[in-house]
Amino acid sequence: MVVGGGITGWGIAWILCQRGVSVTVVERDGVAAHASGMAAGVLNPLDGENIPGPLQPLALEGYRRHLEWWPRLRDETGVDVQGRVVPLLRVAFGDEVETLDGMDAMDGTAGFSRSRVSPSEILGLEPSISDRVAGGVVVEGIGSLDSYLLTVALSRAAQKMGARYVQDTVIGLERSEGVAAGVTLSQQTLACQAVVLAMGPWSSHAEAWLEHAVPLYPLKGDLLRMTTEQPAADIIIYHSAGLLSRKLDGLLWAGTTNEEAGFDAQPWESSREQIVEGALRVVPALRDARVVRHTSCLRPQTSDGLPIVGQALGWENVFMATGAGHKGILVAPSMAMAAADLVTRGRTDMPIDGFGAERFAGSN
């Protein structure tokens, strides 16, 4: 049983089906109904929370598996996830330029390059950027995709291989001597031999079932999709207030915000204003852009900024794969592989040391 119909849950199901395991995926709201369907879809394993740092090995594994998954899923399902490798341009204005110091230094990671660029070089790459730009860094080798299409492709691939999909609410686990014998839904209990919890921020609701802490909270992020011809270059732009990324459907995606607002997933007008203000500072021509969709998603964020991947405390056959925050789409393939390995082999070669639930033992 896999609980959660996002990218990680369906990735786990797909891998398990390939290994001959009978899989049921239980999801309350629908395939990719939350963060997996509304994320910006930028795959950057070089920077971010705990990168460089303890998350980077798992991020690099996730990135490499993304590149393997895209053509295979297209062949198996006919779904093009719009995956491609593009440059990323990080721009700075005024005193922000000091934050670029050292960012052009590479750590030897194969397949990527970074270089410092001057204001004139930036305007040569993308003339629509404000001429007030003070400097930047170009990173070659960053991934971009549509996370909704990827999740849909994974669900179709898994179901083609026999995975069962049940849309219902999980309210508990049936336990016998440290073993989960079934997953209790709103109207029935489904028997199982193993359970993987991949419920995003709702994984915290499993504390009552597991009887141990799952310190996860929802980190809200709003995103705008706009029609505009600017910027024209096929490049991801990072700035101090967010990002700009043109997708293959022609829309420019702008975002994202970070708000602790509980489980309120409604888009906020204040977030829209914040995103637009930041985008206009970078590309003034965007004042003529038209917002065609405003979405909001809840990312699963842990108290230490690292995912929870491993065996649930006190359970022989319950596992967790959740909590990767901003890097959830990026690390989903490696988290899925780790969870599938633990279910079928009891071990994994994925770099998940230090990501287990045991680090929260004793938490309230």
Same domain, 115 and 139: yes
Looking at residues 172-196, what average pLDDT do you find?
A: 94
Q: What is the pLDDT of residue 232?
A: 85
pLDDT tens for 46-90 read 999 999 999 999 999 999 999 999 999 999 999 999 999 999 999
Q: What is the pLDDT of residue 101?
A: 83
Same domain, 10 and 46: yes
The CA distance from 18 to 281, in Å, is: 48
Residue 109 has pLDDT above 80, yes or no: no
Same domain, 272 and 223: yes
Alpha helices in the chain (DSSP H): 7-18, 35-38, 56-77, 119-125, 147-160, 207-210, 269-282, 328-345
CATH number of the domain bearing residue 139: 3.30.9.10
**Domains contained in the chain, number:** 2
Same domain, 99 and 208: no
pLDDT tens for 154-172 read 999 999 999 999 999 999 9
Domain boundary (280, 302, 324) is at: 302
DSSP state of 65: H
Residue 147 has pLDDT above 70, yes or no: yes
Same domain, 211 and 244: no
Same domain, 112 and 209: no
Same domain, 294 and 235: yes
Same domain, 281 and 324: no
- Note down the domain range covering 23: 2-80+147-215+310-360
What confidence category does residue 249 fall into, taking pLDDT thresholds of 50, 70 and 90? confident
Cβ within 8 Å of residue 177, ≥6 positions away? none
CB atoms within 10 A of CB 235: 18
Residue 106 has pLDDT above 60, yes or no: no
At residue 363, what are phi and psi to the nearest 5 degrees?
A: -75, 150
Residue 21 near residue 317, CB atoms below 8 Å: no
pLDDT tens for 225-248 read 999 999 988 999 999 999 999 999
What global pTM score does this model have?
0.95
Residue 199 near residue 322, CB atoms below 8 Å: yes
Q: What is the pLDDT of residue 277?
A: 96
Max Cα distance, the chain (Å):
67
Cβ within 8 Å of residue 68, ≥6 positions away? none
What confidence category does residue 189 fall into, taking pLDDT thresholds of 50, 70 and 90? very high
Residue 71 near residue 166, CB atoms below 8 Å: no
CATH number of the domain bearing residue 12: 3.50.50.60
What confidence category does residue 343 fall into, taking pLDDT thresholds of 50, 70 and 90? very high
Same domain, 13 and 63: yes
Residue 186 near residue 169, CB atoms below 8 Å: yes
Same domain, 197 and 223: no
Same domain, 259 and 289: yes
Same domain, 76 and 6: yes
